[in-house]
Amino acid sequence: MKTYSQLLILCFIILFVSACSKDNEVTPANNLIVGKWLATDLKSKIVIYGTTQTSDTTLQNYNIIYDFKADNTFSGSASFLSLEEPTTNSSSTISGTYSISGSNLILVFTDPNTKKSRTETYLYAATSSVLTWTITLENFKKALADQLDSDTLALLDTITSLDLTISFKKL
């Protein structure tokens, strides 16, 4: 189960640090999402070869913060301790634009080096103090399709259902 949790955290981090795809039009933001948010836990439900596995992981070794601005831009930073070498700290930053369409939060990440962008779509819910994002298998595959090698894509084909939910608290 520890390996499964580490795989899910790795998937979330890959989504966080990678970039490439097409732009979306920016629309007015929901005021509830504006502000700084700290990722607190990752819940997952995954069906592989007909077997359902669930996980609930506290992101205590991770410092993942998103800052959503009223002008529909965002920035994010992530730093985390290596699971193998707890004294090793890795970090990355991202930025882009966001829009909200119904219950979908649409993030467009821009790679500062290549200037390419990638769109990710999450189901989201927000209150004044809690934000949750859920990515489904379909949206997960879309977000990473051009980032993964054929072996990893073949592994994704063994998954029949995936829901990754990331919870954030407002800072």
Are 102 and 86 in contact by the 8 Å Cβ rule? The answer is: no
Cα four-point dihedral sign 56, 57, 58, 59: negative
Cα separation, 109 vs 22, in Å, equals: 10
Give the rounded percent of residues in the chain with a pLDDT score beyond 70.
75
- Quote the pTM value: 0.73
Whether 148 has a pLDDT exceeding 80, the answer reads no
Whether 114 has a pLDDT exceeding 50, the answer reads yes
Q: Which CATH number fits domain 2-170: 2.40.128, 1.25.40, 2.60.470, 3.40.50?
A: 2.40.128
Cα four-point dihedral sign 127, 26, 104, 38: negative
Confidence band, pLDDT 50/70/90 cuts, at residue 86 = low
* Greater model confidence, 87 or 148: 148
Token pair of 135, please?
Answer: 């990515």
Q: Which long-range contacts (CB under 8 A, 24 or more apart) does 120-125 make?
A: 120/15, 124/33, 124/100
Bridge partners (DSSP) listed for residue 53: 46
